[in-house]
């Protein structure tokens, strides 16, 4: 449950930035264009911007981050639908989202936010067929794992106008070279794997780390661990559950 608030907030921020074309508007101003006097130049930047209220957000992966995103999106008047094949229907209803198939989510959503954990089963869950099902006015947001989408297919979709744009906190390989094809596209926003960060999340991970060290010194099993198979031996030798 570490930094889940930050990732949900970042996902919503990318949705809003894409929807309102914030970066393009900023660049237009820096080129000397401003409002109505420069309306002919600005129309290329403004068009198309749609009202967010009443549009549909589709969430792929309805874990803690996905569920935290729901009230943030509804605060802007978005309808929220979600796809997660591992959860019972009541989880969606209790969180304020409508459970749908992946196919329906792709076809109905104006914004698609990927918030799933990466597994071998869902690697490249989104390929060219999936991007072709999306609306040409839709935006793709990924603050989860880059490999959930086929990056070449994403580039093709963005370059050919199959979708309107993307907000990406990650790319394949966790780094990006200046000659990366996606960097050449004007309809992509990058945030350099920053969704996890806040001053609060930094303090929290330190506090939790030190807390776990303290638990081990007291002979207690840590709350964060990666090797549960050694728990019995640890408790037998050092302490208590």
Instruction: Please state, in angstroms and rounded to a whole number, the distance separating the CA atoms of residues 102 and 85.
Output: 9
Instruction: Please state, in angstroms and rounded to a whole number, the distance separating the CA atoms of residues 178 and 183.
Output: 7
Q: 87-120 in b/e burial notation, b at 16+ Cβ within 10 A? A: beeebbeebebbbbebeebbebbbbbbbbbeeee
Q: Which parts of the chain are beta strand (E)?
A: 56-60, 79-83, 98-99, 111-114, 139-142, 165-168, 188-190
127: its two tokens: 């390929």
- Which element (helix H / strand E) includes 63? none
- Residue 193 annotated among the catalytic residues of the structure: yes
Catalytic pick from 10, 21, 24, 145? 145
> Residue 187: helix, strand or coil by DSSP?
coil
- HSE at residue 208, side-chain half, CA atoms within 13 A, is 13
Residue 131 CB-density burial (10 A; 0-12 exposed, 13-18 middle, 19+ buried): buried
| CB-CB neighbours of 225 under 10 Å | 13
- Residue 145 annotated among the catalytic residues of the structure: yes
- Residue 121 annotated among the catalytic residues of the structure: no
Catalytic pick from 44, 94, 174, 186? 174
Catalytic pick from 20, 79, 180, 193? 193
Q: Name the nearest CA neighbour of 17 among 201, 193, 187.
A: 187
81: its two tokens: 């639908």
Residues noted as catalytic: 145, 174, 193
């Amino acid at each position: 449950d570490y930094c889940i608030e930050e990732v949900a907030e970042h996902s919503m921020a990318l949705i809003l930035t894409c929807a309102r074309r914030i970066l393009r508007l900023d660049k237009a101003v820096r080129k000397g264009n401003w409002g109505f006097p420069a309306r002919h130049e600005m129309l290329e930047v403004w068009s198309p911007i749609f009202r967010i209220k009443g549009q549909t957000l589709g969430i792929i992966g309805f874990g803690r981050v996905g569920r935290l995103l729901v009230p943030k999106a509804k605060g802007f008047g978005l309808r929220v639908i979600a796809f997660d094949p591992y959860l019972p229907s009541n989880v969606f209803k209790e969180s304020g989202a409508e459970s749908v198939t992946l196919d329906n989510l792709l076809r109905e959503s104006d914004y698609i936010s990927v918030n799933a954990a990466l597994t071998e089963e869902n690697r490249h869950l989104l390929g060219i067929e999936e991007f072709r099902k999306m609306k040409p006015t839709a935006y793709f947001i990924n603050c989860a794992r880059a490999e959930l989408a086929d990056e070449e297919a994403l580039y093709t979709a963005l370059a050919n106008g199959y979708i309107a744009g993307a907000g990406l906190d990650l790319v394949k390989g966790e780094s990006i070279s200046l000659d990366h094809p996606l960097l050449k596209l004007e309809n992509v926003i990058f945030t350099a794997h920053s969704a996890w960060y806040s001053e609060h999340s930094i303090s929290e991970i330190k506090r939790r780390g030190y807390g776990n060290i303290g638990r081990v010194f007291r002979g207690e099993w840590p709350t964060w661990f990666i090797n549960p198979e050694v728990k019995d031996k640890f408790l037998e030798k050092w302490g208590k559950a």
